[in-house]
Amino acid sequence: MENKEIELIVNGKRLDGRGLHDLRPIKIKVGVLEDADGSASVEWGGNKVVAGVYGPRECIPRHMENPYKAIVKCQYMMSTFCSLEEHGRMGPNRRSVEISKVIRQALENVIMVELFPKSQIEVYAIVLQADGGTRISALTAAVAALMDAGIPLRDTVIGVSVGKAGDKLIADLGKMEDNFGQSDVPIAFTNRDKDIVLLQMDGLLTKDELSKIIDLAFRKGEDINQLQRKAIENKYGETVSKRLRIG
Amino acid sequence: MGEEKDIIMHAMRKSYLLTLLANGERLDGRGFYDYRHVELHKGVIETAEGSALAKIGSTQIIAGIKFEVVEPFASDPDKGVFVTNAELLPLASSRFEPGPPREESIEFARVVDRAIRSAEIIDLNSFFLEEGKALGLFLDLYVLDYGGNMVDAAGLAALAALKSTKIPKVENAQIVRGEYSGVLKIEKHPLPVSFAKIEHYVLADPTIEEESASDAGLTIATTEEHIAAIQKFGTGGFKKDDVLNSVDIAFEKTKELRKYL
Amino acid sequence: MLKQKCYKNEINSEKRGEKLVFVLPGDMISEKPEHFKKGTAYIKDGKTYAAVVGTLEDGRFTSLEGVYLPMQDDPLVGVIIDERHGNYTVDANISFPVLILAKNIGRMRFRLGDYVSIRVGRIEDDGTVIAGDVRLLKGGKVIDVPTSKVPRIIGKKASMLSLLKEKTGVEMFVGANGYIWIGDRGKVTKAIKAIKTIVAKAHLTGLTDEISKMLESG
């Protein structure tokens, strides 16, 4: 996993000049699509993701409906041009299916599905540009889109990737750190109660290191939460114009 | 149950639309051949060799271009390859469901592709590298928001992406990512103009409501001087005069749309 | 004429004298259990938390977005889309089925495509809405607005709604589900334009004046 030829940390600074715990620039915007019930775009470092939410609405196919709660469907996908290195293929692959699932399971923790029996809530995210940490960017966009849609949530969800590179514990891994670092831990948790709803890890860590980077994630989460709040407030600063349907 | 709702609302909506059309009005107050607000943003995706985001009204389409080294087609062994694909993203519309490409997305990608190919605006000969190897230009279109008239937004996005495409540096028949040898030269600009027919009314740049109420659709792509592609959609019919009149409108409209490139 | 219900999203909490803050889902809006519109907040361990984006000002929580959850006696507007043995299925643009039962409507009959106004009579465990009073809405058209904007379209003590009807002469029926039926008489286009403006500017002040001016001119 670790590539000793690339010095990821030099004099306490990372390849892009950031300090060990600095986040990349993050821009969140809600209400970017008109047809979707809720939508958001996230630019996180070099990542660009758009998410759209539909529902709650009638469950299709009917036989999948749950008589006690809404089912949540989630699809994360990457555009064919999101990677500099190659032209990807259209359609889902194993990785995108796995990511769709972990995002769905994270969101199911907070969406108040019991309010909408027999219906479905769909969350779609497309990565237009990838730069390390796409699943966290996608989750961030999805949460903002759900709030934009007015779907009731128990709490806001905050995601960030933390990990280890150059023997240092770092926050918000970029592409190089993701590919060549010592450990990558994407994590997402609820804002108020700090329930961890998404947690994955690769590489090697001690228990003490894991504990420290989770704390680091919680700390950085405060900054991200402020950005989420600002994004929502900005929506109401401008007039919101939705197309009226007439029939 | 969803299907039925479409039909009922559609019937209601159509009669309302017809009342307006008889008065020379469209739902949003446009003239029959006016376009909605157009926006075109080039180079929006840094990981792509060429890209553009086109908006017409609330419809948003993003085009991304990537190069790969490929094997030329047996029929044209010393030419590069140009492939267009499109995806109707489920986040773009409550009507699109995730799954394999639908007829619609295949059809609309092919119209955009045909216009570009007929006008021969990409010099595929220059993509030849060595025997059995050439550059392939992959144009991928994603519908992000569907408010009607995908084809015209796709055509604009595609042309704008092509015009800003950087040709990657090639060494030993391999692409050196991040380094470029030049910019793709585009001299002609084929763009599509689409119409919807509701009873005998023909409207340019239809909205989603107008498309739902229409019996047929027609897309005409023109370069500065020629018709480059035509596609008729749907089950209804067009009279010859409708078609020829639409050709005139298409030439007029593409001239205006070209200004955004 | 079915009564229009105004939605109160006001709760009394200890946070008096506080200026307007935006709240996100999960933020606490009161240290005590409060009443709120279903789906906009929830109670946990005796405290009330927001479930949707809203504002908190002087202890008053106003939701800015929300998904409509039908409640007893709510007025709805819908379209008849199916009939079976005299029972009708209504499309009211909500995720729950809405049914008109034959036994509740005596001799009334409807056709597919008819617009109806109904009052929510009963809500079953699985969310199915059974209609109470039903009325046919003749002709007209239905427009679809976000349900969170419905209170603004009705206004305090139905003031905005009265303004709209008075100045345009239209017949209007506002469903809590976001469907608004507008009759064929009167200045329909003007009314639709005014509603569009209210939807766009619902969260801003001075809206009633703006709409009033808009309806006076032209």
A-interface mutation test, from C38, C47, C65, C71, most A Cβ less than 10 A away? C65
Per the CB < 8 Å rule, is B146 touching A35?
yes
**B250 HSE (CA, 13 A, CB side):** 28
Q: What is the bridge-based pairing of β-strands C129-137 and C98-100?
A: parallel
Q: In 3-state terms, what secondary structure has residue A7?
A: coil
Residue B254 pLDDT grade (very low, low, confident, very high; cuts 50, 70, 90)? very high
Q: Which two tokens stand for residue A157?
A: 């969800």
Is C17 a residue whose pLDDT tops 50?
Answer: no
In angstroms, what separates the C-alpha of A210 from chain B's closest C-alpha? 33
| Strands B81-88 and B133-145, sheet pairing | parallel
Test B9 with C79 for CB contact under 8 angstroms.
Answer: yes
Interface residue B36 vs chain A (CB under 8 A): no
Q: pLDDT over 70 for what percent of chain B? A: 95
In residues, how long is chain A?
247
Could you tell me which residues come within 8 angstroms of residue A226 by beta carbon, excluding any fewer than 6 positions away? none
**What does the block give as tokens for B74?**
């047996």
Average the pLDDT over C107-130 and give the result: 92
For residue B125, give both structure tokens: 């000969």
Compute mean pLDDT per 10 residues along chain A, 247 residues long, and list them. Answer: 70 93 98 94 98 91 90 96 93 93 96 94 98 97 97 98 95 95 96 96 95 97 96 72 45
Domains C1-66 and C141-216 are alike in CATH topology: no
The answer to whether B241 contacts chain C (CB < 8 Å) is: no
Provide the strand spans (E) within A118-217.
Answer: 119-129, 157-165, 168-171, 183-190, 196-199, 202-203
- Nearest CA-CA distance, residue B249 and chain A, Å: 27
| pLDDT given for residue A167 in this prediction | 94
| d(CA B5, nearest CA chain C) in Å | 7
> For B24-56, what is each residue's pLDDT tens digit?
989 888 999 999 999 999 999 999 999 999 999
CB atoms within 10 A of CB A12: 9
Amino acid at C189: T
Q: Choose, out of C79, C110, C179, the residue to mutate when testing the contact with B (most B CBs < 10 Å).
A: C79
H-helix or E-strand spanning residue C56: strand C54-57
DSSP, collapsed to helix, strand or coil, labels residue C141 as strand
- Which residue is closest to B63 within chain A, CA to CA? A81
Q: Number of structural domains, chain A?
A: 1
Element (H, E) at C132: strand C129-137
Residue A4 has what pLDDT? Answer: 56
Q: Which two tokens stand for residue A37?
A: 């019930």
β-pairing, B166-171 vs B174-183, is antiparallel
Contacts of A229 in chain C (CB under 8 A): 22, 24
pLDDT the model gives residue A27: 98
The string of DSSP letters for chain B reads: -HHHHHHHHHHHHHHHHHHHHHTT--TTS--TT----EEEEES--TTSSEEEEEEETTEEEEEEEEEEEEPPPTTSTTS-EEEEEEEE-GGG-TT--SSSPPHHHHHHHHHHHHHHHHTT-S-GGGGEEETTEEEEEEEEEEEEE-SS-HHHHHHHHHHHHHHTPEEEEEETTEEEEEEEEEE-------EEEEEEEETTEEEES--HHHHHH-SEEEEEEE-SSSEEEEEEESSS---HHHHHHHHHHHHHHHHHHHTT-
Q: Do A152 and C200 touch (CB under 8 A)?
A: no
CB B140 within 8 A of CB B86: yes
Structure tokens at A204: 């090697």
DSSP labels, C82-123: EEETTEEEEE-SSSS-EEE-GGGSTT----TT-EEEEEEEEE
Range of the domain at A156: 14-231
Kind of pairing between the strands at A245-246 and C141-144: antiparallel
For residue C168, how many other CB atoms are within 10 A of its CB? 21
Would you say the C-alpha torsion C29, C33, C34, C35 has a positive or negative sign?
positive
Superfamily of domain C141-216: K Homology domain, type 1 (3.30.1370.10)
Percent of chain B whose pLDDT exceeds 90: 80
Q: Quick one: average pLDDT of B162-166?
A: 96
Check B8 against C82: CB less than 8 A apart: no
CA atoms within 13 A on the CB side of B130: 5
Alpha carbons C211 and C159: distance in angstroms, whole number: 12
What residues of C are in contact with residue A232 (Cβ under 8 Å)?
22, 24, 53
Residue by residue, DSSP assigns B143-184 as: EEE-SS-HHHHHHHHHHHHHHTPEEEEEETTEEEEEEEEEE-
Residues comprising chain C, all counted: 218
| C-alpha span between A8 and A174 (Å, rounded) | 10
Helix or strand or coil: residue A243? coil
Instruction: Please state, rounded to an integer, the average pLDDT across all residues of chain B.
Output: 91
Output the pLDDT for position C193: 84
What local confidence, expressed as pLDDT, does residue C8 receive? 33
Residues in chain A closer than 8 A to C143 (CB atoms) = 244-247
Q: Is the pLDDT assigned to residue B135 strictly greater than 50?
A: yes
Q: Does residue C45 have a pLDDT over 70?
A: yes
Q: Which residues of B24-61 are buried (b: 16+ CB within 10 A; e: fewer)?
A: eebbeebeebebbebebebebbebbbbbbbbbbbbbbb
Q: What is the pLDDT of residue B1?
A: 34
Of B250, B239, B212, nearest in space to B33 by CA: B250
Contact list in C for residue A234 (CB cut-off 8 A) is none
Task: Look up the CATH number of domain C1-66.
Answer: 2.40.50
First to last CA, chain B: 43
User: Chain B residues with CB inside 8 Å of A79's CB?
Assistant: 45, 62, 64, 140, 142
Query: Of C212, C71, C32, which Cα lies nearest the Cα of C150?
Result: C71
Contact C89 B16 (CB under 8 A): no
pLDDT at C11 over 50: no
For chain C, domain boundaries: 1-66, 75-137, 141-216
A245 → chain B, closest CA residue: B209
| Mean pLDDT calculated for residue range B106-135 | 93
pLDDT of residue C66: 86
Q: Say whether C22 and A233 touch across the interface (CB within 8 A).
A: yes
Q: Name every chain B residue with its beta carbon within 8 A of the beta carbon of A176.
A: none
Q: Find where tokens 């290195």 sit.
A: A85
Which among A36, A81, A124 has CB closest to B48?
Answer: A81
Residue C6 DSSP symbol: P
Q: Taking residues B181-185, report their average pLDDT.
A: 95
Determine how many CB atoms are found less than 10 A away from the CB of residue B16.
17
- On average, the pLDDT of chain C sits at 85
Cβ of residue B145 closer than 8 Å to a chain A Cβ: yes
From B78-82, C28-32, C146-150, the region with the lowest mean pLDDT: C146-150
CATH number at A105 reads 3.30.230.70
CA A245 to chain C, closest CA, distance in angstroms equals 5
Per CATH, the homologous superfamily of domain C75-137 is: Nucleic acid-binding proteins (2.40.50.140)
- One-letter amino acid at B155 equals G
CA angle, B48 then B53 then B58, to 5°? 150
Please name each of the domains of chain B with its CATH number: 32-258 (3.30.230.70)
How many percent of chain C have pLDDT more than 70?
90
* Residue closest to A136 by CA, chosen among A51, A18, A20: A51
Residue C4 — very low, low, confident or very high, per pLDDT cuts 50/70/90? very low
* Residue (of A18, A16, A1) closest to A170 by Cα position: A18
**Other C-beta atoms lying within 10 Å of the C-beta of residue A236:** 18
- Chain B residues with CB inside 8 Å of C112's CB? 8
Using a CB–CB cutoff of 8 Å, tell me whether C218 touches chain B.
no
Whole-angstrom distance, CA of residue A37 vs CA of residue B207: 18
pLDDT, tens only, C78-93: 999 899 999 999 999 8
User: pLDDT tens digits, residue range B49-70?
Assistant: 999 999 999 999 999 999 999 9
